[in-house]
Amino acid sequence: MAYVSIQEAGSLTGKSIKTLYRHIDNGKLTATLDENGIKVVDTSELIRVYGELNPIDGSNEKSQSKEMSCNENENISDILNEKIKYLESVIKMKDEIIESKEELIENKNIVIEKLEKINLLLEEPTKSKKSKWKFWGN
């Protein structure tokens, strides 16, 4: 006796899990609990009720999943393209911000240099000039 889970029974018979549980509930299909308390069905019971079983090679599922994955891939591709465009615009904005900050730094440095020159010019006359009014006590 080979027991399979309800999900595996659905794959073998091509029936939905909901249909299998309905058939179990109305007595058309017999199920038992395994040692872990999980509902299982004997494959011979599946053959008795549904006839020949489908192999579990996943060939039918593979074709459905290929169709689904194509659509999903297109959707994912569209989403990724949108995200790429968004990220490119963010990078462009950040580059512009960096460029403007570099310009500000350059302008700040120029202003600092000019202020230092002005400061030197203002300090020179007071250091080099001697007071003309020595007789006044300065």
Whether residue 76 sits in one domain with residue 113: yes
| pTM confidence score | 0.41
Total domain count, the chain: 2
Full residue range of the structural domain in which residue 33 is found: 3-50
pLDDT at 104: 95
Residue 55 lies in a domain: no
Rounded Cα–Cα distance for residues 70 and 16 (Å): 24
**CB 48, CB 7: distance < 8 Å:** no
Mean residue pLDDT of the chain comes to 82
- pLDDT of residue 56 exceeding 80: no
pLDDT at 69: 60
Average pLDDT of the segment spanning 11-38: 91
Residue 135 lies in a domain: no
pLDDT at 103: 95
pLDDT at 74: 76
pLDDT band at residue 22 under the 50/70/90 scheme: very high
Residue 34 lies in a domain: yes
- Residue 44, C-beta contacts closer than 8 angstroms, at least 6 positions apart: 1, 2
